Structure 1
Amino acid sequence: MTWTAPEPPPFGGSLVADERTLLEGFLDWQRAVLVGKCTGLTGEELAQRSCPPSTLSLLGLLRHVTDVEREWFNTRFRGTPVPFLYRRADAKDAAFDEADGETAEADYDRLVAEWRSSRAAVASASLDDSFIDSLRGPMSLRAVYLHLIQEYARHNGHADLLRQRIDGETG
């Protein structure tokens, strides 16, 4: 049986909630939008690249944001070094360059697991808790949420175009 990407997880919540709830909710919404662009596609379809020489694909995006989640919530914010799953010193774009439809189900599951790990990493933290980022200086958890929301939103635009190229679906 050929695996196909499932429906996105449920998301939602009040739009008149406290700041933390709003930030968590908007990040969950962006996460769901990305995997929603993958719903019903096979691993092979998810691995289809946009156009040469780009190696951009929906599967590559899933793999990329998995590493982004690990980096920002665990390694940078928590200071708990966790290795990238896809990016390597010798291949910073491996998430895209090495995306393979045969591993799509496992890659998808890793992303969903990473969301749980990210949530756990910051569950007891305050939005005002901060760390020193080597490129940006002091950053708060609030800034991390905003960064991840924009990261997903940017890639969701890519995902719209990739999905439309695969089967004409938009929205």
Structure 2
Amino acid sequence: MASAERSEPALDAAERPMLEGWLDYHRETLAMKCAGLTDAQLREASVPPSAFTLLGLVQHLAEVERFWFREILAGEELPDLYSTEEDPDGDFTVTESTTWAGTESVWRAEIAAARKSAAGYGLDDFSQGVGSAGEPFSLRWIYTHMIEEYARHNGHADLVRERIDGATGD
């Protein structure tokens, strides 16, 4: 697997830098899983007939970043990036025109927007938006959930990457 820049989270950081460090670590882990592959490989389905791909996974995580940090935390009203009413799982859908350059650009932009949104809140502050049951979320909860979301999906990415070219790693 091609190397990417990924810093190990600090062992002695305060709570917020620790949470942010672990989230960034998992974001960059996903980038490492995609590094060095062609667009065709990144569009390759993991285990047909499943349509799960690394590019689809990155699109999904761009949607997740947007949803939790901008729509829920900051209360912004934004359209989905990839999903529609007709295709609620559209964030996983890729076509021959889906590229790493375009997908990574959107994903990185959503990460930057997520950081900007989070900067205005303390860990104990509650979100402007609410979940399906009408409950707000603390920034601490959102960080913890996002770490879990990336960690789970990075496990999926490990398996997809190994199937594509045999590469394994952290």
The TM-score normalised by the length of structure 1 is 0.90
Shift of 1:136: 6.9
User: Are the equivalent residues in 1 in contact too, given 2:43–2:94 (CA < 8 A)?
Assistant: no
Shift of 1:135: 3.4
SS of alignment partner, residue 71 of structure 1:
helix
Contact residue 26 and residue 149 of structure 1 kept, 8 A: yes
The 3 A distance-change label for structure 1 pair 105 and 7 is farther
9, 26, 34: which one pairs with 1:30? 26
2:51 to 47, 50, 55: 55
**Structure 2: gaps of 5 or more residues:** none
Aligned pairs (5 A) from 1:7-156: 7-100=3-96, 102-131=98-127, 132-135=130-133, 137-156=135-154
Residue in structure 1 matched with residue 163 of structure 2 by the alignment = 165
Equivalent position amino acid for 1:140 in 2: S
Contact 1:65 1:111 in 2 (8 A): yes
Report which stretch shifted further, 95-104 or 39-48. 95-104
Percent of residue pairs bearing the same amino acid type: 43
Structure 1 spans left out of the alignment, 5+ residues: 1-5
C-alpha distance after superposition, 1:116-159 (max 9, x if no partner): 11000111210001133223723200000011000000100000
- Encode CA deviations 1:76-130: one digit per residue, 9 max, x unaligned: 1110122211111111111222344642210111111111110001112100011
AA paired with 1:29?
Y
Compared CA separation, residues 22 and 41, structure 1 to 2 (3 A): same
CA RMSD in angstroms comes to: 1.8
Does the 8 A contact of 1:48 with 1:57 survive in 2?
Answer: yes
Question: Which whole-Å CA distance do the structure 2 matches of 1:116 and 1:96 have between them?
Answer: 21
Q: Distance in 1 between matches of 2:159 and 2:11?
A: 28
Return closer, same or farther for 1:7/1:112 CA change in 2, 3 Å cut-off: farther
